Amino acid sequence: MRHFNTEGPVEAAEHYLIPPLERIDREQILTLIRRRKYFVLHAPRQTGKTSTLLALRDLLNSGSEGDFRCVYASFEMGRTVGEDVGSATRLILDELADAARSQGDGSLEGLWREVAATAAPEAAVKRALARWTEAEAHPLVLLLDEVDSFTGAPLLSLLSQLRAGYPDRPRRFPQSVVLCGLRDVRDYRAPGAAGSPFNIKAMSLRLGDFTEVETGTLLAQHTAESGQVFEKEALQAIWDGTQGQPWLVNALAREACFESEAGRDRRRAITARDIAEGRERLIRGRRTHLDNLAVRLGEGRVRRVIEPLLAGGPKRAGSTRDVEYVRDLGLIAPDRPLRVANPIYAEVIPRELTEVMEDELEEQTAWYVDADGALDVEKLLGAFQQFFREHSEHWAGRFEYAEAGPQLILQGFLQRIVNGGGRLEREYGLGRGRTDLMIAWPRGDRTDRFAVECKVQHGSRAATIREGLGQLAGYMDRLGGEAGHLVVFDRSAERSWEEKIYRREEAFEGRTVTVWGM
């Protein structure tokens, strides 16, 4: 049986897959190659870039689209060379020689040694590519993967040499070069440089996520081969949580169908609960893909974009270039409005930022669960109110994302308790003016749901509460909830804690909402 792939390129004999060349505009790419263009293909990690390039290589070498000599090479080890242009040059030449040899051509190694001995490191790649192209019977096409593993001087050297040889194509330089990496080439520049060193780029193409139809097609392959079906709600849960991000789709399905004992029973349908449990295992396990994203949160240009989203601020703080960078990483959606790319990432981000706080809290889930197994949310929020009064200054000062400090403290506290048996769902984003949380607490054959909205007070208390009640009512209408709680953070240094701390009941549209001031 094939399986869901979460490591490396897809293989048709081993993996369920969407054929890579069906995920791109194949004719557009072939037209660029026929017209001798150099261009960029970029996408976030584990989206399918390498699989696409390998499929394109095989297509071009098949002869069905014209007589080409196409070579794929990965420069993944480029991150080890630092600013050493000489080491980077040797690595580039070695990787190209290895790639050619894997396709049956071992003649490049001698040429590389000759070029390396006679040319300066800053010109060796250009000279080697010229000599190679002259010796080829067919136009040479290079697919260069992980180009942005190089940084600084090595990356500038490579791009400058490709630009310098560009006028000599196709007889004395490659007909077409595809640069592939996380980022668009607009971000490949030296600090302070006025423009990109690769201004010969014809186009930048982004490999997108799966569509909802493609997601369903991938999952249907498992059903066809194993007989195991996904309930309608499970299919929807996978799409809603991942928004088609390829690694997440495969990882969630793999958790549900192959990693859990219940899921391996092919007679049993995969349920929405299976997907929710698999999602939690992925997040808690900090699988490599999610861990790589979490590491990015410490970068200043990432923080400048993500922090206002977490805080629900009225406008973004990062520059246009910051937004482009974070979008290229896949942390935010490729289209507008500005938002986190999918709900799983939206959960990973605050959990990563509050992990240290959760580890240090002494609170135990059992303190807030009654004899019937129900979660006492009133008691939980009352305890948080006291905790916030005593410790908010300490924790707000430790968070790198200080603007979103109160929201993160609340989420960290709730997550610490809810992790013991339930789930905390989050909604936040630019211009919302609040963060919406939903506590889902399974109890027997039902799930209790509690809506919690947090707002930062701007202007009068009465106006903030009035606005919050309307927003909370809309959230509860959309997602349900047995009870509603509005948490209002007063960040004014002029008012005392005695003025800020309060609890009261408010009636709104037939509901009774508990308002917690702090």
Please give the angle made by the CA atoms of 114, 120 and 124, to the nearest 5 degrees.
55
**Measuring CA to CA, which residue among 166, 118, 123, 160 is closest to residue 142?**
166
Question: What is the average pLDDT across 178-200?
Answer: 74
- pTM value is 0.92
Q: pLDDT tens digit string along 11-52?
A: 999 999 999 999 999 999 999 999 999 999 999 999 999 999
Q: pLDDT tens digit string along 57-76?
A: 999 999 999 999 999 999 99
Stretch among 114-123, 278-287, 312-321, 365-374 having the lowest mean pLDDT: 312-321
**Measuring CA to CA, which residue among 278, 235, 230 is closest to residue 256?**
278
Q: Cα separation of 429 and 313, whole Å?
A: 8
Question: Which residue(s) pair with 315 in the sheet?
Answer: none
Question: What is the average pLDDT across 375-379?
Answer: 97
Q: Cα separation of 133 and 154, whole Å?
A: 23
Give me the chain's average pLDDT, please: 94
From edge to edge, which strands make up the β-sheet containing 423-427? Answer: 423-427, 435-443, 446-456, 483-489, 511-517, 502-508
pLDDT of 267: 96
- Spell out the SS3 assignment of 292-340: HHHHHCCCHHHHHHHHHHHHCCCCCCCCHHHHHHHHHHCCECCCCCCCE
| C-alpha distances out from residue 221 to 18, 242, 308, 465, Å | 10, 18, 40, 50
First vs last C-alpha separation in the chain: 56
Q: Cα separation of 375 and 383, whole Å?
A: 13
pLDDT of 185: 74
pLDDT of 497: 96
Angle between helices 232-242 and 212-226 (to 10 degrees): 140
212-285: which CATH number, 3.40.50, 1.10.8, 2.60.40, 1.10.287?
A: 1.10.8
Helix (H, G, I), strand (E, B) or coil at 81: coil
Q: Please provide residue 144's backbone torsions phi and psi, each rounded to the nearest 5 degrees.
A: -105, 110
pLDDT higher than 60, residue 358: yes
Q: Cα separation of 284 and 276, whole Å?
A: 12
- Residue 190 CB coordination number (10 Å): 12
pLDDT higher than 60, residue 190: no
CA 8, chain centre distance (Å):
17
> Residue 169: CA atoms inside 13 Å, Cβ hemisphere, count?
23
Q: Which residues contact 373 (CB under 8 A, 6 or more apart)?
A: 443, 444
pLDDT of 318: 84
- Residue 208 CB coordination number (10 Å): 15
Write out the residue limits of the CATH 1.10.8 domain(s) in the chain. Answer: 212-285
pLDDT of 486: 98
Which has more pLDDT, 207 or 108? 207
> CB of 109 within 8 A of CB of 132?
no
Which regions of 4-68 does DSSP assign to beta strands (E)? 38-42
Stretch among 37-41, 110-114, 216-220 having the lowest mean pLDDT: 110-114
- Residue 58 CB coordination number (10 Å): 12
Query: 371: burial class by Cβ within 10 Å (0-12, 13-18, 19+)?
Result: exposed
**Measuring CA to CA, which residue among 463, 446, 445, 443 is closest to residue 455?**
463
pLDDT higher than 70, residue 194: no
> CB of 457 within 8 A of CB of 489?
yes
- Spell out the SS3 assignment of 331-388: CECCCCCCCECCHHHHHHHHHHHCHHHHHHCCCCHHHHECCCCCECHHHHHHHHHHHH
Q: Cα separation of 482 and 451, whole Å?
A: 8
pLDDT higher than 90, residue 196: no
Q: pLDDT tens digit string along 287-317?
A: 889 999 889 999 999 999 999 999 988 888 7
Q: Is 509 left (phi over 0), alpha (psi -120 to 50) or beta?
A: left
Specify the amino acid at residue 515.
V
Write out the residue limits of the CATH 3.40.50.300 domain(s) in the chain. Answer: 20-206
Q: Cα separation of 296 and 300, whole Å?
A: 9
CATH number belonging to domain 20-206: 3.40.50.300
Question: Which residue(s) pair with 447 in the sheet?
Answer: 442
Residue 494 is classified by DSSP as S
Question: Which residue(s) pair with 484 in the sheet?
Answer: 451, 513
pLDDT of 187: 61
> CB of 234 within 8 A of CB of 219?
no
